[in-house]
Amino acid sequence: MKNNKESKDLSFDFDFLDKLVVGIGEVSQITGIPTRQIRYWEEKRIIDSLTEEEGKNRRYNYENIKKMLLIKELMDEGYTLDSAAEKVKKRMEMIENTLNKLQGKQL
């Protein structure tokens, strides 16, 4: 069953999350990770963005942001950037699953 775009009650709002795309400044505010560091992670291909062309401003979706937060968490626990990034992949899959289940239930 698809998420009904017309539903007015919007118990919660997965459509919103789907459309949610933000710039690097906002990501930095949300996550507490400095913009400089976000660019560095991207440069190292630890994370990626939705940015269309180079030179244009970077864009991130919920998944991107979530990934940064998870990596940050692990690094605070002592992981290196690379190992954290690796570990996060699996965690992301779990989250993806959880979200899908919730979405399926339409809350």
Least separation, in Å, of the C-beta of 4 and its own copies? Answer: 14
Q: What angle do CA 14, 17, 21 make, to 5 degrees?
A: 160
Handedness of CA 26, 32, 36, 40 (dihedral sign): negative
d(CA 10, CA 63): 21
Number of residues that bind its own copies (CB under 8 A): 25
Among 23, 75, 81, 86, binds its own copies (CB under 8 A): 23
Asked whether position 81 contacts DNA by CB under 7 A, the answer is: yes
**Binding window for its own copies (CB under 8 A); candidates: 8-16, 41-49, 80-88:** 8-16
Give the range of 8-16, 17-25, 62-70, 99-107 binding DNA by CB under 7 A: 17-25
Alpha carbon distance 72, 62 (integer Å): 15
| Interatomic CA distance for residues 11 and 6, integer angstroms | 12
Residues in contact with DNA by the rule CB under 7 A: 23-26, 34-37, 39-41, 44, 51, 54-58, 75, 80-82
